[in-house]
Amino acid sequence: MGKFEITKRKNGEFQFNLKASNGQVILSSEGYTAKDSCINGVNSVKRNATDDARYDRKVSSNGKPYFNLKASNGQIIGTSEMYESESSREKGIESVKKNAPTADVVENLK
């Protein structure tokens, strides 16, 4: 089962990573100034993860496929890693769809 891990960056901002059951990060958030805002981001991912229309499939300047997950207002709520192929990117999207809705939330705020 996947999990959301909330961490604190060196600059004091909060961020979350959605990790698959194997521990691999499959989605990362932007930085949030408040922990409550970060938790709202997690809840937005949970709500939007199963809707394929919320995934914006992209290719980086170096040719690597990746995706953004967007909320209903069009705002990006999470970004994937860079993948080696479009089929790998699709597997990443499927992993988010599968893991996010029921993922536990853990805080690692060392």
- Does position 109 have pLDDT exceeding 90, yes or no? no
Residue 85 pLDDT: 97
Domains of the chain: 3-108 (2.30.29.80)
Model confidence band, residue 88 (pLDDT cutoffs 50, 70, 90): very high
Name the nearest CA neighbour of 47 among 6, 103, 88, 94: 103
| The predicted structure's pLDDT at residue 110 | 72
- Measured in whole angstroms, the distance separating CA 79 from the mean position of its chain's CA atoms is 5
Within 3-100, residue ranges assigned H as helices are: 35-48, 86-99
Instruction: Kindly tell me if the per-residue pLDDT of 99 is higher than 80.
Output: yes
